[in-house]
Structure 1
Amino acid sequence: MIDLTEEAADTLEPIAIDLTVTDARNLPVGYLVINKVLIQGTCYEKGDFVEVMHTTLGSQAVDFIRLEFIAENSHRQRLLRGVPYTRTRQLKGEMQMKLNEVCLLYYIDQSAESKDPVLVGVDENLVVRKRHLIVTNAPKPDHNPASTSQGGKRHQIKRHGPLVCRWTKKLYFTMRGRTMKINEVAFARMRSSDCSHVGYRVQESKLRGEWRGSQPVRQAPNPFHKYTLFDAFCGAGGVSRGADMAGFDVVHAMDKNDRACETYRLNFPGTKLHQMTVHDFIVSAGHIRTDVLHLSPPCQPFSPAHTHESIHDDENMDAFLGSCQLIDKIRPRMVTLEETFGIGFDRHRNYLRAVISHLTYRGYSVRWRPRFRLCTWGCAQDRERLVMIAAGPGEELPYFPKASHSETGGGGTKPFTSFGQAIAGISSRDDHHNIRALGTFPMPRMPLDASRLVKTITTSSSELYHPSGRRVLSVRELACLQGFPHHHRFVGTRTDIRRQIGNAFPPNTVKVLYRHLKKCLMREDGLLPMAGGVEDYEGVIRIEDDLPVTGRLVIDLT
């Protein structure tokens, strides 16, 4: 059984209560594996693609399973278990709702010893019929007869026509008691290597060229090779600074805020800065192509701290949705997005789904962590953000970089960057660090533990002060806590600059992310050898048309 108990109103992805996740080799008492079973005159065996009814995986409807094994007890009760699939119309708007288009579901328990995807168990009375599955990486509507059908034929095709799978939804979770906590979600487009039949394969280079209109130049490895970045909603340049430190060429940026743009020009004089709204840029800009597009649209409407409507809410919402138009305009090979984790709350989730839907509609694979702790990439704050990576048609979807920092260090990681470490080494000669001008508190405050992380820096950060408890933090200290290097300069009043710092994606964490993305792009372009393996949490299953898929974990819905 799965008890679907929801958390409080403001939750991230739906939370399922899972009571029966077990190893697939552990059959219910009294059951034995059998090779075949006859159900209503049809023979079913391992590898068959089977339509089922009234079946769910947590809150996700399951419409089909690829049969993995069959078990029977002495009373001739049969249980079928397999890898789950769903129709794309069941994905809550995150993918186009097209007839007979299906999506493979991988639910991977990161807290389990086995990292194989979860299987679904169903009673034989929930079996509807066998179906034929086509696995392809071709764009819609190729290989789908339903795309040209009309009227009554559509109903017949829905019931009996071939099904087409172009996507996998991967959901990584950990169990906390009986509660499933979602850590990461991905929609990955099938690669040509996933398609067992040659007729359903399309070369990745062709898909990439059809989308971008050009091909990456294959050349000998070059240590000075630089990929290009468009930094949208760039603010004071947090992403540009981190990407620059990672070896990217920041060629375009866009923002409309006057003070932030002054700061940006001071730090990146060689970057073409478009000081305008996203709408004005879409209308006025010419042909632009970069390898990567970063999006940090205004987050205030989605912030958990945003409890009252603002006169800027509509404008900020328009800017957020304008991000989709930017993707169409630039057509990057990869997209990164950073946003407040509040966008995953119930009242805002449709905005997140709108971006995901747009990306998948354009053929982008997308991966996101709904509540990612940036301290695991070196940030000195316990700062949580939604972070997303998307890879365009023909591109491999990267994993997230592994953690560089952890609570205690070890396992190849460093201990979290502490408050004291982040502000150490600042010189009185550094900009924005005139301690005498700051003065001291009339009454000293409680000293802070400089060996720990700082709470999240906001655009005001009025409650944060120096660990000594004697004074406020200088602007330079705030910038260092946000991951800016000492040489990054700022323009404006103290209030202006605190807002610029608080709105930034910490450059030191961006550096970790973009170094990783650079390696992924270089591997894709043949400039580096392919990685020798995959992330240790990824269950790897080769997807074959009408061939079995292995797996060990089971959610039994009987």
Structure 2
Amino acid sequence: MGGEISLRGWRLQRQDSMNGLMPEHVNELCWIVNLSAQQTTQVDEVGLHEVKGLRIVRFTNTSYPMLVPRGDKDSFATEAERRQEGILFCRSKYIRVWVTPTSTSTTSSRKRRMEEQAIQFLAPHEADAGYAVDTSTLRFRWRGETQPGGSYATQKISPLVDLSTNTPTILGGTSKIIRQYTFGDGFCGAGGVSRGALQAGLRLNWGFDHSISAMDSFRLNFETAIGYTSDVADFLASSHTEIMVDILHFSPPCQTFSPAKTVAAAMDEDNEACIFCTRELLEATKPRVVTMEETAGLQQRHEEFLFATIHSFVELGYSVRWKLLNCRDYGVPQSRQRLVILASGPGEPLPPFPKPTHTSPNTQINTTITTALLPPFRTIHDAISKIPPHHPDHDIQYARSRPLNRPTYDPHTQARTITCNGGENYHPSGTRGFTYRELACLQTFPLEHRFCGKSVKRQIGNAVPPMLGKAIFLVVKRALERVDGVNGGDYGGGDGSIDIVREVVEIL
């Protein structure tokens, strides 16, 4: 007796109060979801005295401004009245994933931290009855007809040969259409991401970059793809025959946002402008899934630019998630932390981040009978010990002609981050720097990948490690295969459903 009545439920927040993450549409809400290993769903609790009144909210997966009543603005005397009394709509969720370090961590490092964030549009099963639209309809409205299994098709012919006679005779054969998801690489450099995409089984259609030498390297390695030597503005302005792709990647210049950067540079404005090319690239290429890779500093020190980028995705109806990944978890022999952004277009599944493929040899992993232990982090020795003598870009004599006198170190460790000038890395012997080929191997370029021009070290350092790209694109490919119903996948849909209260309370 005497205790105050409290209410529990999901928190909905107005989009215009989300620090620029979402378009600031009046009476549009975002469902706030906090997840952790200890708690997979979270509800908020408020006292009855905090309630201002009852409001009607419609949960829908339709795109804005659909369902907003015509003449809505004219139905109220003032904008404030519309805000206070109009119908509310919730079309998306803002998901934050929290982690708490293990009990073995030091006290100072055990602070709960946000590991991953996402803006995800509602699925049909999360919408109110009568307010849902099929995912295929959303996809068609955005990009037109979409071919399940990928936009690229080739015919595979298996001949039937009669070997029962002295002279083998071709009697005929069977043919099969093989499909691949098409891929475009923006700011492609020498092709680190493109190499990873090929390794994941994607069809590389094109790449663009303003660097002449990098594009020479790109064209040398990917002869069937079109390489455009241009900046993003010229690429978008040119009348290309076909730049629409299933999967798009772009990694705009990131030096402006690097944690190591302390002094402004003449190209900073151009680099910042590249970050804001998101909307134009999406509208021109209409990708089903988009990936971005950037310096960790974009999240750590320049959150306003990150949020502006996320805003551009969301405004076009793309769900998006972002997280810092360490490249060494995916077979790259470097401690290299990068911000990775995954986005999916209207009606498409939002792929998860890839699970680590490697781990510290000292890490104790909880495994089941069907789960094998992950291999240990790859090391400098793993990466460079099998380079053949006299291999292209592996001029050891030239490296020795520029001698160093540095401490030796254990080659069975990871390198520091490879940058456009090589970073603070040198050969474990301490007597020389790495050759270009050794740097390329530390970036996980395969031995057959070749480089052109005088800026080879810059091309290598600016690249996204192919093994990281491969891990990401394998997950993206599987997500699309599942929704397309190919390779044994089942057509989309979510797991379970959520019974949502149709009237909500607005609190002080």
Task: Tell me whether 1:102 sits opposite 2:102 in the alignment.
Answer: no
Matching residue's letter, 1:498: K
Q: What is the match of residue 262 of structure 2?
A: 307
Task: Note the C-alpha offset of 1:157.
Answer: 3.5
SS state at 1:350 partner: helix
Query: Are the equivalent residues in 2 in contact too, given 1:459–1:500 (CA < 8 A)?
Result: yes
Report the CA distance between 1:443 and its aligned residue. Answer: 6.1
Measured in 1, the distance between the counterparts of 2:149 and 2:375 equals 36
**Residues of 2 paired with 1:470 and 1:223: CA distance?**
55
Shift of 1:223: 9.4
TM-superposed CA distance for 1:463, in Å, is 2.6
Q: 3-state DSSP class of the match of 1:182?
A: strand
Per the alignment, do residues 256 and 93 of structure 1 end up closer, same or farther by CA in structure 2, a change over 3 Å counting? same
**1:255: how far off?**
0.5
Alignment of 1:281-320 (within 5 A): 281-286=235-240, 287-320=242-275
Question: Residues 332 and 392 of structure 1 are in contact (CA less than 8 Å); yes or no, is this contact kept in structure 2?
Answer: yes
Letter in 2 for 1:143: L
Q: Partner of 1:104: helix, strand, or coil?
A: strand
- Per-residue CA deviations over 1:38-83 (Å, capped at 9, x if unaligned) read xxxxxxxxxxxxxxxxxxxxxxxxxxxxxxxxxxxx3222232222
- The alignment status of 1:205 with 2:136, answered yes or no, reads yes
SS at match of 1:307: coil
1:81 and 1:486 mapped to 2: Cα distance? 59
Deviations 1:428-474 (A, max 9, x none): 13211121232167564222222222111111125311112222111
**Aligned amino acid, residue 216 of structure 1:** Q
* CA gap 1:442/1:226 in 2 versus in 1, 3 angstroms: closer
Q: Which residue of 1 aligns with 2:464?
A: 505
Separation (CA, whole Å) in 2 of partners of 1:533 and 1:380: 36
Are 2:54 and 1:130 equivalent residues in the alignment? yes
Q: Say whether the 8 Å CA contact 2:319–2:344 is kept in structure 1.
A: yes
Written as runs of structure 1 = structure 2, the 5 A alignment for 1:25-174 is 74-110=1-37, 112=38, 114=39, 116-145=40-69, 148-150=72-74, 152=77, 154-174=79-99
Q: What is the rounded CA distance, in whole Å, between the counterparts of 1:440 and 1:486 in structure 2?
A: 24
CA distance in 2, matches of 1:506, 1:500: 12
Q: Deviations over 1:342-391 (max 9, x none)?
A: 11134x2222111111111100000110x221111111111011101100
Contact map agreement 1:100 1:146 (CA 8 A) in 2: no
Distance in structure 2 (CA, Å) of the matches to 1:118 and 1:319: 37
- Give, in angstroms, the shift of residue 179 of structure 1: 3.3
Give unmatched runs, 5+ long, in structure 1.
1-73, 550-556
Corresponding residue of 1:325: 280
CA shift in 2, pair 1:210/1:443, >3 Å: closer
SS of 2:275's partner is helix
Q: Does 1:515 align with 2:474?
A: yes
Give the deviation of 1:521 after TM superposition: 0.9
One-letter amino acid of the structure 2 residue matched with residue 131 of structure 1? R
Matching residue of 1:9: none
User: Does the 8 A contact of 2:15 with 2:24 survive in 1?
Assistant: yes
Cα contact 1:107–1:117 (8 A) shared by 2? yes
Q: 1:471 to 1:223 in 2, by over 3 A?
A: farther
Is 1:471 aligned to residue 432 of structure 2?
yes
Work out which of the residue numbers 182, 185, 189 in structure 1 matches 2:114: 182
- Structure 1 399/443 Cα, relative in aligned 2: closer, same or farther at 3 Å? closer
The residue aligned with 2:193 is 239
Distance (whole Å) between structure 2 residues aligned to residue 139 and residue 482 of structure 1: 41
Taking the aligned partners of 1:147 and 1:374, their CA distance within structure 2 comes to: 52
Q: Aligned residue for 1:41?
A: none
How has the CA–CA distance of structure 1 residues 531 and 323 changed in structure 2, closer, same or farther, with 3 Å as cutoff?
Answer: same
Which secondary structure state, in structure 1, belongs to the residue aligned with residue 117 of structure 2?
strand
Choose between structure 1 and 2 for higher RCO, CA contacts under 8 A separated by at least 6 residues. Answer: 1
TM-score, normalization: structure 1? Answer: 0.78
> Does residue 351 in structure 1 map to residue 317 in structure 2?
no
Q: Is the 8 A contact 1:88 1:95 kept in 2?
A: yes
1:71 is aligned to none
Seen in structure 2, the aligned counterparts of structure 1 residues 441 and 497 have a Cα distance that, compared at 3 Å, is closer
Between the aligned partners of 1:462 and 1:502, the Cα distance in structure 2 is 8
Separation in 1, partners of 2:148, 2:137: 14
What's the % identity of the aligned pairs? Answer: 35
Partner of 1:405: 358
Q: Is the Cα contact below 8 Å between 1:298 and 1:319 reproduced in 2?
A: yes
Q: Does structure 1 conserve the Cα–Cα contact (< 8 Å) formed by 2:58 and 2:128?
A: no
Query: Does residue 430 of structure 1 match 2:388?
Result: no
Mark the CA change 1:96 to 1:443 in structure 2 (over 3 Å): closer, same or farther: closer
Give CA deviations for 1:146-201 in whole Å, capped at 9, x if unaligned. Answer: 8732452543342233221110111011135673311110111111122240x211
Give me the CA root mean square deviation: 2.7
Contact preservation (8 Å) 1:231, 1:294: yes
Give the direction of change, closer, same or farther, for the CA distance of 1:354–1:533 in structure 2 (3 Å limit). Answer: closer
What is the DSSP-based 3-state SS (H/G/I as helix, E as strand, rest coil) of the residue aligned with 2:29? strand
Partner Cα separation in structure 1 for residue 294 and residue 423 of structure 2: 22
- Which residue number in structure 2 is paired with residue 55 of structure 1? none
Q: Cα deviations across residues 472-498 of structure 1 (Å, max 9, x unaligned)?
A: 1111110011110011001123xx111
Instruction: Determine if contact 2:199/2:470 at 8 Å carries over to the other structure.
Output: yes
More displaced stretch, 465-474 vs 177-186: 177-186
What is the rounded CA distance, in whole Å, between the counterparts of 2:315 and 2:44 in structure 1?
Answer: 28
The within-5 A match list for 1:213-224 is 213-217=144-148, 224=178
Per-residue CA deviations over 1:113-139 (Å, capped at 9, x if unaligned) read: x3x222222222111222222111111
Secondary structure, counterpart of 2:243 in structure 1: coil
Query: Structure 2: how far apart are the matches of 1:490 and 1:241?
Result: 13
Contact 1:99-1:147 within 8 A present in 2 as well: no
Q: How many residue pairs end up in the alignment?
A: 465
Cα pair 1:440 1:470 within 8 Å, conserved: no
Unaligned stretches of 5+ residues in structure 2: 102-106, 154-175
Please give the per-residue CA displacement for 1:489-543, whole angstroms capped at 9, x wherever unaligned: 01123xx111111110100111111111111111111103447999xxx9x7733
Is the CA contact 1:141–1:147 (under 8 Å) kept in the aligned structure 2?
no
For the structure 1 residues 442 and 461, does the alpha-carbon distance in structure 2 shift closer, same or farther, using more than 3 Å as the test?
closer
1:145 Cα deviation from its structure 2 partner: 3.0
What letter matches 2:358 in structure 1?
H
Distance, in Å, in 2 between the alignment partners of 1:532 and 1:324 is 28
After TM superposition, the score normalised by the length of structure 2 is: 0.86
